[in-house]
Amino acid sequence: MPGLMPHNPFYGIWQRRFIQFDQGVKETTQSVLWLQAETDFADVRQWFPELLTAPLAPDHYRTLPWRQRFDVDLLGFAGTFTWSAMDDTQGTCTWHHGLAITPRQRPDTSHYTWLGPHEFLEQGTCEDDAGVTHTFLEHWQRIGAGPLQVWHPVVGTVQGVGMVAADWAVVVQDGRSPQLNLAPFTGFSATAWQRRQGHWQPQFGTPQPSIEPAQVLSQWQRAER
């Protein structure tokens, strides 16, 4: 019902402070914006030009080291989010990928530990090319509480999710044909946007930017949830 406060404790606008693999160096250079509604989410991450030395296509993607593929897989993704609390301070959370630049091979489930009302640690695992498991730790901080709006393209057009919260927005689009699984990944786009002086400006994301939030608000349909 209108006016009810969200009960998802992760609801809001999030930025990542660092990611750390195998208890190594805390990496802080990659910008990340995660918008979380009651159920829907969208996440986009900064694209480093040095990440890829050739166009992003399946043949080239398969030659990348596992650590680079980890970054490519999560450049932009969206879907639904669930969590299960063990107690007031910790539990597990799962991101169900509905849109992603590459198909998810395993559940995106991590353990979380709250550090405060707007800050938590995410602990998860990933595998390298030899099947060896590596741990990662991400530090997340909420920078805004919303409210958030969720938008989807008109039925019959491209797949997509647009999320808008205050002066922040994330737009994820996938215009690729499922039959062309060897086609370049250029039909996929994900962009973090920020509104400054009344104008939306792209901040980071895939090399091919998404449509602007103003187009989302005028051309897409707002979700009821």
Q: Which of 128-132, 160-164, 175-179, 182-186 has the highest mean predicted lDDT (pLDDT)?
A: 160-164
Could you give the 3-state DSSP secondary structure of residue 213?
A: helix
Structure tokens at 209: 């930017």
| Higher per-residue confidence, 54 vs 97 | 97
CB 189 within 8 A of CB 209: yes
Residues of the chain with CATH 2.40.128.320: 12-144
Q: Which residue from 75, 108, 74, 110 is spatially nearest to 91, judged by alpha carbons? A: 110
Give the per-residue pLDDT at 184.
52
Total residues found in the chain within this entry: 225
Give the per-residue pLDDT at 185.
66
Question: In this structure, what are the phi and psi dihedrals at residue 185, rounded to the nearest 5 degrees?
Answer: -80, 20
Homologous superfamily (CATH) for 12-144: Protein HRI1, N-terminal domain (2.40.128.320)
Distances (CA, A) of 149 to 100, 103, 154, 161, 167: 20, 26, 16, 10, 12
Q: Which residues pair with 43 in a beta bridge?
A: 34, 77
Give the whole-angstrom CA distance, residue 121 versus residue 113.
Answer: 5
> Half-sphere exposure (CA, 13 Å, Cβ side) for 58?
8
**Average pLDDT estimate for 116-133:** 94
Give the per-residue pLDDT at 186.
73
CB 213 within 8 A of CB 171: yes
Residue 81 burial (C-beta neighbours within 10 Å; 0-12, 13-18, 19+): buried
Whether the pLDDT of residue 177 is over 80: the answer is no
Query: Could you tell me the pLDDT band of residue 147, with boundaries at 50, 70 and 90?
Result: very high
**Average pLDDT estimate for 25-32:** 95
Give the per-residue pLDDT at 55.
58
| Higher per-residue confidence, 164 vs 208 | 164
Whole-structure pTM value = 0.91
Whether the pLDDT of residue 82 is over 90: the answer is yes
Question: How far does Cα 19 stand from its chain's mean position?
Answer: 14
